[in-house]
Amino acid sequence: MRIAVAADSPDGIAAVLVDELTRRGHQVRPYGALRADDRADWAWCAEAAARDVADGRADQAVVCCWTGTGASIAANKVPGVRAALCADAYTADGARRWNDANVLALSLRVVSAPLLGEILDAWLAGAPSAEPEDRANIAHTGEIR
């Protein structure tokens, strides 16, 4: 998959995240502190990665800041984006299954390298539920403005 990745700092699991996605065969589109020529503020780089998803330049995105909250809020401002802040694999699986989330938000501070592996396993293997009730909820959240 083409995965846009944004981080406002090169610290925490930022570098590990890029390496891990690349190792798994994904094409990473880096933003923020992950490349030299970009604005590294969390609101701007998370939005840039989210716009890649909304505009079809990326299949998914992972947006990171120290807490993960700002990056998830910024990404969710982009129409068509459903960003989920996940700190464990169960939440990542549920975000894909019940929310059809297309952007994973992570805390650079909280997520360790082993935990990142578990979260990515669940997120990348996850798929949206086809249950009518779940689809109705997902459609409704897309309509709320």
Ligand X SMILES: O=C(CO)[C@H](O)[C@H](O)COP(=O)(O)O
Catalytic residue positions, numbered = 65
Closest CA to 98 of 130, 63, 54, 69: 130
**Token couple for 26:** 């994904």
| Least separation in angstroms between CB 27 and ligand X | 25
- Buried-exposed string 41-60: b where 16+ CB fall within 10 A, e elsewhere: ebbbbbbbbbbbbbeeebeb
The footprint of ligand X on this chain (CB under 6 A) covers a number of residues equal to 7
Task: State which of residues 67, 91, 99, 137 lies at the interface with ligand X (CB under 6 A).
Answer: 67
Q: Does 70 bind ligand X (CB under 6 A)?
A: yes
Q: Does 65 bind ligand X (CB under 6 A)?
A: yes
| Least separation in angstroms between CB 44 and ligand X | 11
Residues making contact with ligand X (CB under 6 A): 8, 42, 65-67, 69-70
